[in-house]
Amino acid sequence: MSEQAVETPALDRYECRACGYVYEPEKGDDKHDIPSGTLFTDLPVNWRCPVCSAKKTAFTNIGPAGTASGFKENLGFGLGVNKLTPGQKNILIFGALALAFLFFISLYGLQ
């Protein structure tokens, strides 16, 4: 007997267009006693944004956490940088700044 793969729904995050609050299913909503792991589609109809009290219809899907930001058709451009996640982009930017600072400081060692 073969095991069938169990399909798990993507834990997409939803952002409030009014205030910018992001509902993350991994965290849930402590203010309204929503347990972690609750999908946005499973929230009650009368659920509102914990920050600005906007209705559920004011939220837009921004995808799962840790994915590349932007439109999918643009991910192939930008020398591969568009495929980086926001965390990877931060490491690239601040790492380059730290390296440039070290090079600058190393110039004082030249005499």
Domain boundary assignment for the chain: 10-67, 69-110
What pLDDT, on a 0 to 100 scale, did the predictor assign at position 37? 86
Report residues of the chain scoring pLDDT below 50: 1-8
Nearest to 21 by CA among 8, 41, 40: 40
Domain 10-67, CATH class in plain words: mainly beta
Let me know: does 15 contact 21? Beta carbons within 8 Å: yes
Half-sphere exposure of 78 (CA within 13 A, CB side): 14
Let me know: does 22 contact 62? Beta carbons within 8 Å: yes
pTM: 0.56
**Residue pLDDT, tens place only, 76-106:** 776 777 777 778 888 999 999 999 999 999 9
Q: Is 94 helix (H, G, I), strand (E, B) or coil?
A: helix
Q: Is 11 helix (H, G, I), strand (E, B) or coil?
A: coil
Q: Is 80 helix (H, G, I), strand (E, B) or coil?
A: coil
